[in-house]
Structure 1
Amino acid sequence: MSIRSSDEDETVIGTSYLPSQQGEDCPLIPLDMGLRDVLEALPEAIYTTDANGLITFYNKAAAALWGVKPKIGESEFCGSWKLYWPDGTPLPHDQCPMAIALKDRRPVRGLEAIAERPDGTRVRFLAYPSPIFDAAGALIGAVNMLVDLTDQTAADDAALRHDAIVESSDDAIVAKDLNGTIITWNPGAQRLFGYTPEEAIGKPIAMLIPLDRQNEEPGILKRIRQGERIEHYETIRRRKDGSLVEISLAVSPVRNREGRIIGAAKIARDITERRQAEAQRSLLIREMDHRMKNLFTLANSVISLSARSVTTASELATAVSARLTALAKAHALTIPNGFSSEQATTLHTLIQTIFAPYVTDGDNSQPRAVVTGPDITIAGNAVTSFALLLHEFATNAAKYGALSLPEGFVDISCSEDAGVFTLAWCERNGPIIEREPDSAGFGTLLAKSTVRGQLRGELTREWKSEGLAIRLVFGRSSVHPQ
């Protein structure tokens, strides 16, 4: 029997499961075995119906898409268990694409629908039903091809996820062709470089490259054409406002479906904060190295100078330990909140710290030093030297002077005139001083290296019978530069 489709092209189907004429009681004739084999071999879902929409044939691909095997001559319009429109609303079988093609006696091309299988899974598909007419023009049935969109759905979902990641990324993500022309520009790129997508897309990527680095782009494009990936390339780029920004750059080739490289994708990350952190860490390391060297130098000096004023190892150990302990207490004043940058302290606070060990015991404890006059701030880098100097004054007073007797004390008066600060140290109620010591002790040697060297000041001693008087003069700027 000769039949034709709506396109007027004659097709010989031979014996088939289509009715030989319209009507519900028309006999069904089996398909030609050759044609049946062809339809079974096709990867797409194929099925046929009679003029009333009863399924007369389906191949294995159709059964796999539906997840069920419909009954020949009983199932209508489509073999799926349930149908839905793309928006998820139910689609009755008698309103599906095949039903429309039979009712309107016209082909339906690429109408999308969703088939639900008995196990609950859903498959998006495109339907291409075409009515079939006999030689006399009578409708005798229809054939439908269903195109499974599962792979495309997965690709679309992946593309949506990719787009969401690109759009929400804090990094600048830019695509360019092999001529260096920008073709995509995400919000991260706008934040980093200052250009809107309208200002950037279609423009050469070279607009981001400083003049002294223009030779970088040709080299990058050459490596991309060769299929190379560029990882963690650190460089400098120019923003819209002309400012420069340090970035870490990763560049990958972009290929089309045939595998041919058609461009490059760039991810640029602002590394300004990282570089600042690295610089700060380097500064801290250098500062720590400097301080450690200073501490070792100071410790050596304390040992060397202490050795000149003692006669036994025990005396040396005691003197060095006391001096280093005083330095530790003074140093603690410079870092009141744990490990942080070195802080300043005040002269009065430093004196109170140095004299704390000499406060008399008991309920009527009295300070051993009375400080009067204006205070002065001492910067962190001068605290150590000042503390060591005051400690030597207090130690000598405890050994030989006013602090060696319970009723002795030290009167410390401060004054300032035109940026010159004067500290007057006067010991009272100590042992009577009969004469000036014959040899210079640690304090004298320290005065030469610290007062004159670091403080750029002067120190004088007067050995009065009622007690030692020390006068220390130095400039304010030497202990707390503005």
Structure 2
Amino acid sequence: MSQTTVSRLSERTGLETSRPLLDAMANAVYTTDRNGIITYYNPAAATLWGSEPQVGVTRWCGSFRMRNLDGSPLAHEDCPMAVCVKTGKSVDNREILVERLDGLQRRVRISPRPILDDAGQIVGAINTIDDVTEQRQSERDRDASNQLTESILRNSKDCIKLLDLDGTLRSINPCGCSSLELASSDEALGKNYFDFWQPADREAAVAAAHSAQQTGSGRFTADFVSMSGKTTTWDEILSLINDAEGAPTGYLVISRDITAELNEAREKTRQLARQKALTEIGALALAEGSFQTFMDQTAERVAEVLEAPLVKILPFADQADHLWLAAGVGWKPGLVGKAIVGVELESQAGYTLSVNGPVVVPDLHTETRFNGSTLMHDHGVRSGMSVTIAGTTSRPFGVIGIHDTRRREFDEGEIAFLQTVANLIASCHRHHESIKHQTLLVREIAHRSGNMLQVVTSIFSQTARNSDSLAEAKSKFEQRLGQMSKANLLISNNGWTKCGVRDLVAQTLDLFVDQVEISGRDVVLPADLCFDLGLVLHELATNSNKYGAFASDEGRVALRWSVETRDDGQEFVLTWKDSKRQPAAPVPSTGFGAKLIGQLVESKWRGKVTTELDPTFSCRLSLPLTTG
């Protein structure tokens, strides 16, 4: 019953007539006279107050205590009922807090109205009280829930959307706008959700919607390409939304970006594959078999694990003037074993040899450090990375590289993998070289022991004949014998096999290292030639120490060597040039040193010796190189 009806009912029929109706009301109702003294209250009012006020005594209200909504005290004489009686005016829907004697507090909405006599004079008032405690609490809970929902939608890292049944977008949260690269949701609303996807994924989205209509939910995973071209992968869950009657009205779509999760899972898979490959390559390095077989199988494993269409292993040629394609994957038929790559800085391999660390090329088209070799351009190489393979001496073994025909970024794990493979190749090469050297050394000791005695005897005889005294002969012979020992030690350390010219020069001229300016690639020469070349360098140094640059601390020797190509093959050319010549120095063409150089270079190796004396001493040696 409305407040107006209650007021009129009281005015029309009187309180006594209305009492049964008022007693039955669920709302608290009470009346006062013109002085605010309570004249009636129904059971609901007594329950609300927690006590029964004295009719004819209690004034204004039966509550133990009243408060405003902010918690401040509200005196009885200032309560809405008192205001109504005092002013003769109704108070509509005023909400306050009423407190019982036991401390229970309720929130109520009160609407006191004056009761007038026939003359229009106030004779009292009637007040209806609605307990709105639960209603207001429910509203607060609902508001809190709405705020929480809004906060979740606003801060969620998931893209949350509401769709009509036809896929029209009706709502989208900020994450969704960010994912779609939109400034606000207004740019997305009204668009069709299914049109966001590429054709193949659109079919999956439609199928998920049909599944949601049948079972309540549907799910699919798809790649989304943003307006800027960025590709991300999303896990999409569609849930059917029904109205109060159970009729479907649309879909709730929760989209989660799983790009990072997928990338992490893929990276773990790649890491495991790389670890497995390194284990297999390590086992191959220790297994019996040829080094060539090891390189071939290693190239295949690298290509597989790094998903690289092109792999190359490039050892140094003996002449150190180029690298050659010893093993590889993906190259045109006939190139593996034959193709050569220059060591100049213009090629990636050559540049790799000049730096300390891996060389990574995301895009050869924009590369500025080098141009790339003809081999790479002929195969449409776009990207790649390469590392140096350490050698058994100071000279590197070569380079290993991988290449792709598309633009590609290489991560730290891939770079570390290739570097580790390079280390395994270096280790395997040292192992195979060690075995080969041991075999050759044993064979060479048996072969050379007799020859060495003959050489020593010959040098002693020649030295004695060309010396003025026994002491001079002894000194010269000890020096030459010492050089033979050094050369023999250098070569035998590697199993009497090939050795580098730089190591030979460093050992032979160690006493004059600060006075020698050397220039030349670290050419590898046969053991016998290295041995004889060591004797030649010793004689040249001895001559310079007596009559040339080494005779003074200021003197310098320019030592140059190279491999030159002639019509009939290649030859090793070495040039020695003193910066100064001592006055009255004898012509260095009649002594034993000059004869020894001539015998070794021209008689034994079919080479040529050219000397000049003006303005300073210089000597040019040309020695033919055999292939293989």
Name the TM-score class by shorter chain.
Answer: 0.5 to 0.7
* Partner Cα distance (1:62, 1:218) in 2: 63
* Partner Cα distance (1:296, 1:131) in 2: 104
The residue correspondences of 1:29-44 to structure 2 (distance < 5 A) are 32-33=19-20, 35-36=22-23, 38-39=24-25, 42=26
CA contact (8 A) 2:116 2:123 kept: yes
Work out the number of aligned pairs and report it. Answer: 352
Q: CA deviation at 1:228?
A: 0.5
**Which residue in the other structure is 2:253 paired with?**
266
* Partner Cα distance (2:214, 2:46) in 1: 44
- Alpha-carbon spacing, 1:182–1:101, altered in 2? closer, same or farther (3 Å): farther
Q: Which amino acid aligns with 2:60?
A: E
**Which residue in the other structure is 1:180 paired with?**
167
* Partner Cα distance (1:113, 1:303) in 2: 98
CA contact (8 A) 2:22 2:42 kept: no
**Which residue in the other structure is 1:392 paired with?**
432
**Which residue in the other structure is 2:217 paired with?**
229
- Alpha-carbon spacing, 1:34–1:122, altered in 2? closer, same or farther (3 Å): closer
**Which residue in the other structure is 2:28 paired with?**
46
TM-score by length of 1: 0.56
CA contact (8 A) 2:285 2:425 kept: no
* Partner Cα distance (2:212, 2:177) in 1: 24
- Alpha-carbon spacing, 1:202–1:130, altered in 2? closer, same or farther (3 Å): farther
Q: Which amino acid aligns with 1:201?
A: L
* Partner Cα distance (1:179, 1:99) in 2: 60
Q: Which amino acid aligns with 1:194?
A: E
Q: CA deviation at 1:83?
A: 1.9
**Which residue in the other structure is 2:264 paired with?**
277
State the secondary structure of the residue aligned to 1:301.
Answer: coil
CA contact (8 A) 1:181 1:203 kept: yes
**Which residue in the other structure is 2:500 paired with?**
413
**Which residue in the other structure is 2:51 paired with?**
69
Q: What are the Cα deviations for residues 402-450 of structure 1, in whole angstroms up to 9, with x where unaligned?
A: 9x999945375378xxxx9855585999xxxxxxxxxxxxxxxxxxxxx
- Alpha-carbon spacing, 1:383–1:169, altered in 2? closer, same or farther (3 Å): same
The residue correspondences of 1:225-264 to structure 2 (distance < 5 A) are 225=213, 228-230=216-218, 233-241=220-228, 243-256=230-243, 261-264=248-251
Q: CA deviation at 1:248?
A: 1.1
CA contact (8 A) 2:7 2:126 kept: no
The residue correspondences of 1:9-408 to structure 2 (distance < 5 A) are 9-10=8-9, 16=15, 32-33=19-20, 35-36=22-23, 38-39=24-25, 42=26, 45-51=27-33, 52-53=35-36, 56-60=40-44, 63=47, 68-69=50-51, 71-73=53-55, 74=58, 76-77=60-61, 79=63, 81-85=65-69, 91-103=74-86, 105-115=88-98, 124-134=107-117, 136-137=119-120, 138-146=122-130, 147-148=132-133, 149-195=136-182, 196-216=184-204, 218-225=206-213, 228-230=216-218, 233-241=220-228, 243-256=230-243, 261-301=248-288, 351=392, 371-372=393-394, 380=419, 381-395=421-435, 397=437, 401=441, 408=489
Q: Which amino acid aligns with 2:426?
A: F
Bigger helix share: 2
Q: What are the Cα deviations for residues 140-169 of structure 1, in whole angstroms up to 9, with x where unaligned?
A: 222223223222222222222222222221
- Alpha-carbon spacing, 1:283–1:211, altered in 2? closer, same or farther (3 Å): same
CA contact (8 A) 2:170 2:190 kept: yes
State the secondary structure of the residue aligned to 2:153.
Answer: helix
Q: Which amino acid aligns with 1:391?
A: H
Q: CA deviation at 1:301?
A: 3.3
Q: What do you get for the CA RMSD once the two structures are aligned?
A: 5.0
* Partner Cα distance (2:188, 2:62) in 1: 50
Structure showing greater relative contact order (alpha-carbon pairs closer than 8 Å, 6 or more residues apart): 1
The residue correspondences of 1:394-473 to structure 2 (distance < 5 A) are 394-395=434-435, 397=437, 401=441, 408-409=489-490, 410=493, 412-413=499-500, 423=524
CA contact (8 A) 2:221 2:236 kept: yes
Structure with the greater alpha carbon radius of gyration: 2
* Partner Cα distance (1:75, 1:238) in 2: 75
* Partner Cα distance (1:241, 1:304) in 2: 50
CA contact (8 A) 1:5 1:132 kept: no
TM-score by length of 2: 0.45
Q: CA deviation at 1:11?
A: 5.0
Unmatched tracts of structure 2, length 5 or more: 293-356, 359-384, 401-417, 446-484, 503-520, 532-624
State the secondary structure of the residue aligned to 2:53.
Answer: coil
CA contact (8 A) 1:97 1:111 kept: yes
Q: Which amino acid aligns with 1:178?
A: L
Q: What are the Cα deviations for residues 174-208 of structure 1, in whole angstroms up to 9, with x where unaligned?
A: 22333433333222212222221222234443453
State the secondary structure of the residue aligned to 2:288.
Answer: helix
Q: CA deviation at 1:213?
A: 4.0
Q: Which amino acid aligns with 1:199?
A: E
Unmatched tracts of structure 1, length 5 or more: 17-28, 306-333, 336-342, 352-370, 430-470, 475-482
Q: Which amino acid aligns with 2:198?
A: P
* Partner Cα distance (2:92, 2:386) in 1: 84
Q: What are the Cα deviations for residues 48-106 of structure 1, in whole angstroms up to 9, with x where unaligned?
A: 23145555425448745x6x436344263472634233x55555555555455545545
- Alpha-carbon spacing, 1:268–1:119, altered in 2? closer, same or farther (3 Å): farther
